[in-house]
Structure 1
Amino acid sequence: MVMSPAPPPSDRSAYAVGTFFAGAGVMHFARPDFFEAIVPRWFPNPKFANQASGAAEIVLGLGMIPRRTRPLAARGLLLLTAAVYPANIDMAINDVVVKPGDDGRMERVEGVTAARPVNLLRLPLQFVMAWAIRRHLRPR
């Protein structure tokens, strides 16, 4: 039996990034109430923000799989990561937590100081994700 060689580390990294974002994008449609609750209050249309960012995550995440489309998908993911960063800042500033409401749908609750450490941790993690994406800007 002939075994094919394992993919190179750059491919494995791209697969991981792509799978993460595509999976997150699917969750935007599976649990829209959660993701709409994360959208800052100043944004006029949380449903649109959720659907647009979820669709972009799916398309760009899948674009990380083929080597041919990887650099373009990586550029898109970097832009998307920057575009959603204000939501992470909003969560940190307003101590936002998302939890089930009385009707069972997820709702945004502000002023929960216990959420602050997790929300603050999300801020530098966006840069770690951007670093992982940036590695794929050039074809290999």
Structure 2
Amino acid sequence: MRQTNPPLDRATIGLATMFLGSAALHLARPQVYEAIVPHALPRKRELVYASGVAEIVCGLGLLHPRTRKVAGLASAVLLVVVLPANVQMSADHAKRAQRKGDTGSKAFFAGTVARLPLQWPLIRTALRASGRLR
């Protein structure tokens, strides 16, 4: 019995589009992302470039039926791997908001915190694209 590839649905197209857009920013403006690489990690520019390339590979892989399963799994892994950068961004903005105390800094910090739980639906979409979730 031949196993079929998961269908290309709106959520998967959205995830692929998000990856490809983010990858373009990672490669065109790496300095923007260097600031959120966890402080303990070395070679921040190289990590930003590597994550941008990984996003291109995952994004394109999600769009093709033959590579969707492996790309879905790789996408879920990538989303978990970059989660510490999102946490770092929130921690840095928490300090900035506390130090500055202005409404703009507090609002930006709140946005970074609100963004963190959004990783989980993205991971679920990636796992659905891999055929691991229904």
Which interval holds the TM-score relative to the shorter structure? Answer: 0.7 to 0.9
Structure with greater contact order relative to length (CA < 8 Å, sep ≥ 6): 2
Q: Which amino acid aligns with 1:13?
A: A
Q: Which amino acid aligns with 1:36?
A: E
- State the shift of 1:11 in Å: 3.0
Structure 1 gaps, min length 5: 1-8, 97-109
What is residue 13 of structure 1 aligned with on the other side? Answer: 11
Whether 2:97 is the aligned partner of 1:112: answer yes
Once residues 13 and 53 of structure 1 are traced to their aligned partners in structure 2, the CA distance between those partners, rounded to angstroms, is: 21
RMSD: 2.1
Give the total of aligned pairs: 119
TM-score by length of 2: 0.79
Which residues in structure 2 correspond to 1:32-111 (within 5 Å)?
Answer: 32-95=30-93, 110-111=95-96
Whether 2:120 is the aligned partner of 1:135: answer no
Flag as ranges the 4+ runs of structure 1 deviating above 4 A. Answer: none
Q: Which amino acid aligns with 2:14?
A: A
Once residues 122 and 84 of structure 2 are traced to their aligned partners in structure 1, the CA distance between those partners, rounded to angstroms, is: 15
Once residues 91 and 35 of structure 1 are traced to their aligned partners in structure 2, the CA distance between those partners, rounded to angstroms, is: 9
Per-residue CA deviations over 1:75-119 (Å, capped at 9, x if unaligned) read: 1111111111111112222326xxxxxxxxxxxxx5224132111
Quick one: percent identity of the two aligned structures? 36
Q: Which amino acid aligns with 1:66?
A: H
Once residues 23 and 117 of structure 1 are traced to their aligned partners in structure 2, the CA distance between those partners, rounded to angstroms, is: 23
